[in-house]
Structure 1
Amino acid sequence: MSQRGFTLIELMVTLVVLAVLIGLAAPNLSQMLRENQAAAEFNAFSGMLNYARREAVQGAQTIRLKGPLAADGSWQLLRERDSVELRRFPALSFFVVSPVELQNILFDSQGRLVSAARVALTLAAKDTSLGCATFNRSVSIELSGSIFLQKGSCQ
């Protein structure tokens, strides 16, 4: 008489193989999740800069991007002539922006940077145990208003 099903040994071998595969995949999965979180937040930050510049050009006005605010770490988009808040962007959870002091980035009505020199920012991972070469990012805003983004380096 034949019986259907698995023997206990077959089930145990299958579970051991599955445990080994999960053990091999878990570190790669957590690394991939951190990289995706970093990329998403970096894209949100660059989108915030581009939004500020576009708002200045479309509204033919000077726009100030101010942050991170001390209270909650968020960033404000303000109309310069009357300091009306046009939009608030959430705080960065993965990166720390340096230089640390409050950033004031102004774009004029033609999308140019209102500054004596280009603005250079570094986004460094808050978790210092992560590889800086993998996660740090550099942002530079030229006087023309062009925004350049690249992977950062260890400092």
Structure 2
Amino acid sequence: MSQRGFTLIELMVTLVVLAVLIGLAAPNFSQMLRENQAAAELEAFSGMLGYARREAVQGAQTVRLKGPLAADGSWQLLRERDSLELRRFPALTSYVAGPAGLQDILFDSQGRLISAARMAFTLALKDTSLGCTTFNRSVSIELSGSISLQKASCQ
């Protein structure tokens, strides 16, 4: 007489193997999700800087990107001549921007960086959840207005 189906032992072995595979995959999956979130936020931050520069050029005006604001951590794009808010960007959730305190980034009507020190501006983005990791980035804005992201060291 032939039997059809699985025995209890076969089902238990299958469940144990499945549990081991899930246990091995879960940390890698959460790491992948964290990396994707960090990459998306870096892209959004870079896009915010690019938007501010384009707004300055298209409007033939000087604009000021101000942030992170103390109230909610958001970033504010202002027209320099009358402090009119052109746009507000959401706070960074995965990163802390440094140096600490309020940052003002100004672009002139030709998209160039206005810097009192007449040198490029570097902004450090430190990962908030994992500390010193591969997610830390340095954002450089050259006097010409070009924006670049580089991996930053742990400091």
| Length-normalised TM-score, structure 1 | 0.95
Partner of 1:41: 41
Partner of 1:139: 139
Distance in structure 2 (CA, Å) of the matches to 1:133 and 1:13: 38
Summarize the alignment of residues 75-86 of structure 1 with structure 2, pairs less than 5 Å apart: 75-86=75-86
Task: Kindly state the Cα deviation for residue 69 of structure 1 after the two structures are TM-superposed.
Answer: 0.2
Task: Kindly state the Cα deviation for residue 104 of structure 1 after the two structures are TM-superposed.
Answer: 0.5
Runs of 4+ in 1 over 4 A off after TM superposition: none
Corresponding residue pairs, total: 153
Q: Indicate conservation of the 8 Å contact 1:77/1:85, yes or no.
A: yes
Q: Residue deviations 1:51-100, cap 9 Å, x none?
A: 00011111111111000000000000111111111110000000000001
Q: Indicate conservation of the 8 Å contact 1:63/1:106, yes or no.
A: yes
Distance in structure 2 (CA, Å) of the matches to 1:133 and 1:145: 28
Distance in structure 1 (CA, Å) of the matches to 2:145 and 2:8: 68
Other structure's SS at 2:64 match: strand
Other structure's SS at 2:32 match: helix
Summarize the alignment of residues 4-153 of structure 1 with structure 2, pairs less than 5 Å apart: 4-115=4-115, 116-127=118-129, 130=130, 132-153=132-153
Other structure's SS at 2:33 match: helix
Structure 2 unaligned segments of length 5 or more: list them. Answer: none
Task: Kindly state the Cα deviation for residue 151 of structure 1 after the two structures are TM-superposed.
Answer: 1.1
Q: Indicate conservation of the 8 Å contact 1:133/1:152, yes or no.
A: no
Other structure's SS at 2:140 match: strand
Distance in structure 2 (CA, Å) of the matches to 1:24 and 1:52: 44
Other structure's SS at 2:57 match: helix
Q: Residue deviations 1:23-73, cap 9 Å, x none?
A: 110111111111111111111100100000011111111111000000000
| Length-normalised TM-score, structure 2 | 0.95
Q: Indicate conservation of the 8 Å contact 2:127/2:133, yes or no.
A: no
Task: Kindly state the Cα deviation for residue 7 of structure 1 after the two structures are TM-superposed.
Answer: 1.0
Distance in structure 2 (CA, Å) of the matches to 1:146 and 1:137: 16
Name the % identity: 82
Residue type at the aligned position of 2:55 = E
Residue type at the aligned position of 2:124 = T
